[in-house]
A and B are shown apart, each in its own frame.
Chain A
Amino acid sequence: MSTATQEYQAVFAGKTRAQLDEILTRYPAKQAALLPALWLVQRERGWISDRSMTEVAEVLGLTPAYVKGVVTFYTMYHQHPVGKNFVQVCTTSPCNICGAEGVVRALLEHTGAKDLGATSPDGQWTVIEVECLGACGFATPVLINDDFIESVTPEKVPELVRKYR
């Protein structure tokens, strides 16, 4: 976690810098590495701070404001720290009619996150509602970090939460 008083450690160093360099070879323009670079930051830091945005801007020859404009366009980039387990639940119409709201309620209760977007007091869980996850036939899909879980029902939630706790 970086705070104002701690010295900022560059994200793009060592292995991560090497990965960025490889990514840069894929595109005819440096700017095109922006989305992949932001993914690298999020992988390394868990979220994308203003300071990280400035660093990304520097390595890609962009301005921090430009980078922020892009970060805010895409919903998957975290502009604030989130819980250790970041949970995305689809609540779009096809999942809604199959009981997605119940899944959300159960998740909020069992994780202790209580409110959508809030992080549980133990720092373990953040639960959010998202739009269609592209798995509507397997209602309700839930994405926990990088694990895509199909056909979640309220009954399966306690077990699921136990697994990640």
Chain B
Amino acid sequence: MGYPHKPHPRETVVLSKHFGDPEARTYKGWVRRGGYEALKNALATDPAAIIEEVKTSGVRGRGGAGFPTGLKWSFMPKEKTKPHYLCVNADESEPGTFKDREIMRWTPHALLEGTAIAAHAIRAEVTYIYVRGEFTEPLAILEKALAEASTAGVFGNMKIYLHRGAGAYICGEETAMMNSIEGKRGNPRIKPPFPAAAGVFGMPTTINNVETLVAVPHILKNGAAWYKGLSLSNPKSTGTKLFSVCGHLAKPGNYEVTMGFPLKDLLYELGGGMRPGRTLKACIPGGSSVPILNREESESCLLDYEGCVEKGTMLGSGGVIVFDDSTDMVYQIMRLARFYAHESCAQCTQCREGTAWTTRILERILTGQGAMKDLDLLLDLADNMTGKTICVLSDSCAAPVVSGIKKFKSEFEAYITGKKRPVAA
């Protein structure tokens, strides 16, 4: 659902409080809503104390990997001998995920405020906000907000620049992003060195997701204890999270809930349930890169990092893709594999060849040319694509394939045996 809309009573509205309120986009409007207070206080606070507070809050990265944010910040050199950089990951391209876009469209100053606090905490002089090239509207809104806030002088000596991407999913991977900022092809880098040691321009760098950063002002304002208290299940998952819900659902959109919220309630209550006459078949809870859940797993999954792992998947970016009983799972898995094949940077053999080969095999199954042994071949390929490459794009392609074959095997077999009519792929 678009904005403005009234939040569902079961949402915990923190980050999305001002979504749909055009006045919040302006500097004056943001200040009137209490904006930039947290930044003002932060600038008068020792960076180490801010990092400690963020650590205590338990907030973890919302870009997909779930790495503890305070800990990440603490990896930056204590002894400052070189310039430090902050990169903000606004490349949001993971299929199923559309939360950062909404944050930037409605509350650009929330991002700028969180960004400036992070830059202060890691002592970065320069920040690049890397916005995906297709996000024309968020870019324009951010540009305006940045100009207004800079004129108002809220960033002191810190420099914040927007850097527009140009169409490449892989540039959301942090080291690929740094290469892209440097004017190179977006190939991920081998780690180590880790960004905190040698990141963009070879300097100590921290990369954070948009949603991670917009949580920071709230943590500083309300205290780490408050944030830590926002947890419905596992205490290692704290805070609120924006879940983007899409696919076969009555009310797709973004919903902000406390960590540990039941996926079932997100789908059936907040998301309005399935379309009339339809039932849930499968769900991918963390963006297309994580294993697919079947109906039973989905209906018993708790939405936090641990709850998703318990069901054999991951929270990822919080992009929830819903498939109802009308879905051809084989076709959709092929479509996802094709995405990864298209987006592979082609550096690593396993990924370049594996994503393309996986797609070809799936296409052949769909067009009625598959054989039973293709399923073993797909699993074997997936095995060779997991944990063997510079970045995890290849693993991401394998995830829906492996979980798909495991949970929806009969659909693959129906194409192979000719029980199901071939389709164009």
> A residues near B, CB below 8 A?
26-29, 31-36, 38-39, 60, 69-70, 73-77, 88, 92-94, 96-98, 130-139, 143, 146-148, 150-151
Contact = CB atoms under 8 A, between A and B. Distances in A.
A70 B339 contact: no
B161 A150 contact: no
A147 B134 CA distance: 10
A92 B166 contact: no
Nearest to A135: B98
23 contacts: A35-B166, A69-B185, A74-B166, A75-B166, A92-B335, A93-B339, A94-B247, A97-B247, A97-B323, A98-B247, A98-B248, A131-B95, A131-B342, A134-B100, A134-B134, A136-B246, A137-B244, A137-B252, A138-B2, A138-B252, A143-B134, A143-B136, A151-B2
Interface in B326-344: 327, 332, 335-336, 339, 342-343
Interface in B128-153: 132-137
A76 B424 CA distance: 28
Interface of B: 1-2, 83, 92-98, 100-101, 126, 132-137, 159, 161, 163-169, 180-186, 201, 244-248, 252-254, 288, 319, 321, 323, 327, 332, 335-336, 339, 342-343, 345
Across the A-B interface, give the 4 residue pairs with the lowest CB-CB distance, nearest first: A34-B183, A74-B166, A76-B167, A75-B167
A143 B336 CA distance: 21
A139 B343 CA distance: 21
Given A29-B201, A93-B332, A134 B247 contact: no
Contact of A32 (B100, B181, B336, B343): B181
B145 to A, nearest CB: 17
A60 B336 CA distance: 38
Contacts of A94: 95-96, 246-247, 321
B287 to A, nearest CB: 10
Given A96-B332, A134-B132, A70 B184 contact: yes
B319 to A, nearest CB: 7
A77 B133 CA distance: 10
A148 B321 contact: no
A133 B134 contact: yes
Given A94-B246, A137-B253, A132 B166 contact: no
A134 B166 contact: no
Given A74-B166, A138-B98, A29 B182 contact: yes
B98 A134 contact: yes
Contacts of B159: 26
Nearest to B168: A74
Given A88-B134, A136-B244, 14 more contacts: A27-B181, A28-B83, A28-B201, A31-B182, A31-B183, A70-B185, A74-B167, A75-B168, A92-B339, A130-B167, A132-B93, A136-B321, A137-B98, A148-B137
A132 B169 CA distance: 9
B116 to A, nearest CB: 17
Contacts of B182: 29, 31-32
A75 B167 CA distance: 5
A126 to B, nearest CB: 15
A57 B51 CA distance: 42
A26 B182 CA distance: 11
B255 to A, nearest CB: 10
Nearest to A42: B166
Most chain B CB within 10 A, of A93, A98, A139, is at: A93
Nearest to A91: B335
Given A39-B166, A74-B167, A147-B136, A97 B327 contact: yes
Contacts of A88: 134
A35 B321 contact: no
A15 B67 CA distance: 44
B161 A26 contact: yes
A24 to B, nearest CB: 11
B417 to A, nearest CB: 25
Nearest to B171: A74
A136 B168 contact: no
Given A75-B167, A93-B335, A136-B96, A35 B180 contact: yes
A134 B171 CA distance: 14
B140 to A, nearest CB: 8
Given A32-B182, A77-B166, A93-B335, A134 B323 contact: no
Contacts of B134: 76, 88, 130, 133-134, 143, 148
Nearest to A31: B183
A134 B136 contact: no
A106 to B, nearest CB: 18
B335 A70 contact: no
B2 A150 contact: yes
Given A94-B246, A97-B323, A134 B97 contact: yes
A38 B163 CA distance: 12
Contacts of A77: 166-167
A136 B136 contact: no
Contacts of A27: 181, 201
A28 B85 CA distance: 11
B185 A131 contact: no
Contacts of A31: 182-184
Given A97-B327, A134-B97, A76 B133 contact: yes
A125 to B, nearest CB: 18
